[in-house]
Chains A and B, each alone.
Chain A
Amino acid sequence: MATNTTTVSGPGNGADTTGPTGTVPGPPARQSGAGAWHRYASALRRPRGAAGAGLLALLILAAVLAPILFPNGYDDQSSGALAGPSAGHWLGTDELGRDILARTVFGLRTDISLLLTAVPLSAAIGTLMGLAGVITRWLGTGMQRLLDIILGFPGLILGMTIVLVVGTGWLALFLSILVVGLPMFGRQARAGLLVEQEREYVLAARVLGVRKRTVMVRHVLPNIVDPIVVNASVFMVVAIFIEAGLSIVGLGIEPPVPSLGAMLNTGARYVEVHPAYIIGPGLVLLLLALGFTLLSDALNKAVLKR
């Protein structure tokens, strides 16, 4: 267990990319703790990972700084409606005279806040559902059948069903992303569990008298975390598409709050008179999805395929 845990225990952030043991690229032992940080950091050393992480860092920074960058907020209607790009409004103004660039950045804020809450929660709940078989066997299979049912729904149709129940708004988008992700994480966790359960170390721990649940939480869970992290980064892109898809058909967040999809929805109506309207939010949406695509590629290669 204690092989290389002493040197890098504290920060583990992107600063120490060279690593203390610069000779071996990626330690062969699949363990939790410091080893995990090395593996994730090695994803950032790949060109795709660096590009994706850089892109995402920029976008998140812009979203966080939105109130400082645009002190007038997203709902300032003091300018003429549907104006083209100008020095005051780089991307022009929308149908109510609001600055499109400001609304795009605040929309990005909405999207990122959705993603960073709904996706991790989906991963956590989905994983727990996948591991439910540890408690009793029938609970495990029951959960899998439940996930099968969810999987039967195409993502957007599931989203529309949820809108039908809770009405349009932030909550519906949040729940849609959460529920759509469950089968992916749940199946992944169960597959991992079934493989790991047969390993010798589990048997060894059981023979030593460690309780079954302790073995699962302390030893099996850390070993299936990697695919879940990779899946979460893949699912980010799906989640972006769900938000935008529901918003673009008019089932998204309530105005006047902007989201990237909601802006595309209204922008699409003015595409012939004001094409610049959808270029801003469209491009930002593309960059956000691209960032996560690149990052998930790099994570996949660095963490799983070794």
Chain B
Amino acid sequence: MIRFLLRRVPSILLVIVATSVIAFLLPRLAPGDAAAAAAGPEATTEQIEAIRVEMGLDRPLVEQYVGWVGGLLTGDLGQSLQFNRPVSELIGDRIGSTLELTIAAMLILTVVGIGVGIFGGSARSRLSRLTSDATNTLLLATPPFLAGLLLIIVLGVAFPVLPISGEVAVLDDPMIGLQYLLLPAVALAVPMSAGVARLVQSSMHNVWQQDFVDLAVAKGVPRRRINIRHVVRNSLGPAVVALGMRFGDMLAGAVVIEMIFARNGIGQLAVTGVQNADYNLVQVIIVGAVLIAVLMQLMTEIALAGLDPRVRLGA
């Protein structure tokens, strides 16, 4: 296992370092002047120059980059250009909201995705198979924000049963907080669950074709027992991969969902950062998002390697 992990380290480091360079360099190559933007529309040339020096934008790019990465490693994330506050404070204020949303959505995704997949994979009647196929196809074509808007129309406007905008921290007030969390989390998770369900379903079909299942049938093991004890268990590997690989998409989806449900999370922070060319803020969010996505992929691989020795020992 350790050897397996060591083999993965170089490529992961490469991705992270390259991402930090991209996130740092690209915005600075773009037209526009961050110092002028930070100084405001009525600043004089001297004021802009003063801000440029204060922000360190007059120094060579390499020096700026090294300073920035050094700061990241020591916990100094830099200063936001538009809010004039430390980036770490801004992110700290909002990370709770985004974490609540992604954790809730991940739970729903796991339960619904695997549940529906197992239902579809165990279904024998033509009707239930068709139903699960049709639902999956429809959900695959539904982006999370569209699901969100539909939920808002149905459960927020037509039959107002749940709040559709704003939020209350779940830790402060669990009952109210969950009410605010429910619609965005469902909107984010349910469309994505179709992909997971489909994978579970097709891998269950594949496992049913295998010889050891035939053997169990021949021995007279009840179908239900074969399904639960052997087929489902052997089909969960792909599901684990599917869930882990979707974590990055879930973060990206959370950005959109936060906008639609007016939740004050990292997504909204990132969007205002992009709109106002706040490099210092956005580059941290980009690196953070990639870091989390890559680490989730790694954890997925570890989980898979634990489940399947072929992955651990193979190429």
Contact = CB atoms under 8 A, between A and B. Distances in A.
A154 B260 contact: no
A75 interface: no
Given A160-B274, A290-B137, A244 B157 contact: no
A148 B141 CA distance: 26
A149 interface: yes
Contacts of B26: 161, 164-165
Given A154-B248, A166-B30, A285 B14 contact: no
B108 to A, nearest CB: 19
A275 B153 contact: yes
Contacts of B255: 156-157, 160, 245, 249
A290 B141 contact: yes
B274 A272 contact: no
B145 interface: yes
Contacts of A286: 141-142, 146
B149 A282 contact: yes
B104 interface: no
A201 interface: no
A161 B153 contact: no
Contact of B143 (A166, A241, A278): A241
B22 A272 contact: no
Task: Specify the main secondary structure of chain A where it touches its partner.
Answer: helix
Nearest to A157: B289
A268 B286 contact: no
B277 A250 contact: no
B38 to A, nearest CB: 16
A251 B30 CA distance: 16
Task: For chain B, give the interface size range.
Answer: 35 or more
Contacts, number: 139
Given A145-B11, A149-B22, A157 B140 contact: no
B152 interface: yes
B15 A165 contact: no
Contacts of B145: 244-245, 248, 264
Contact of A248 (B14, B150, B260, B290): B260
Interface in B1-30: 11, 14-16, 18-19, 22-23, 26-27, 29-30
Interface residues of A, number: 43
A289 interface: yes
B15 A152 contact: yes
A139 to B, nearest CB: 17
Nearest to B150: A282
A90 interface: no
B274 A251 contact: yes
B153 A297 contact: no
A156 B252 contact: yes
Contacts of A152: 15-16, 19, 290, 293-294
B252 A165 contact: no
B89 interface: no
A237 interface: yes
Interface string A11-36: 00000000000000000000000000
Contacts of A145: 11, 14
Contact of B282 (A160, A241, A244, A297): A160
Given A161-B23, A294-B137, A244 B143 contact: yes
Nearest to A144: B11
A251 B249 CA distance: 18
Interface in A277-304: 278-279, 282, 285-286, 289-290, 292-294, 297
Interface string A164-176: 1111000000000
Given A145-B11, A164-B274, A249 B259 contact: yes
A272 B260 CA distance: 13
Given A244-B145, A249-B259, A271-B157, A160 B271 contact: yes
Given A271-B153, A290-B137, A154 B146 contact: no
B138 interface: yes
Interface string B255-276: 1100110000001001100110
A251 B256 contact: no
A153 interface: yes
B85 to A, nearest CB: 20
B253 interface: yes
B260 to A, nearest CB: 6
B114 interface: no
Interface in A133-183: 145, 148-149, 152-157, 160-161, 163-167
Contacts of B138: 290
B102 to A, nearest CB: 12
Given A157-B255, A166-B30, A286-B141, 12 more contacts: A149-B18, A153-B19, A157-B286, A160-B271, A160-B282, A165-B26, A245-B143, A275-B157, A275-B158, A285-B143, A290-B138, A293-B137
14 contacts: A48-B137, A148-B14, A154-B249, A157-B289, A161-B286, A164-B277, A167-B30, A244-B145, A245-B256, A248-B256, A250-B271, A292-B141, A293-B137, A294-B137
Interface of B: 11, 14-16, 18-19, 22-23, 26-27, 29-30, 137-138, 140-143, 145-146, 149-150, 152-153, 156-158, 248-249, 251-253, 255-256, 259-260, 267, 270-271, 274-275, 277, 279, 282, 286, 289-290, 293-294
Please list the 8 inter-chain residue pairs (A to B) with the smallest Cβ-Cβ separation, ordered nearest first.
Answer: A156-B252, A154-B248, A289-B141, A154-B252, A290-B141, A152-B15, A165-B30, A149-B18
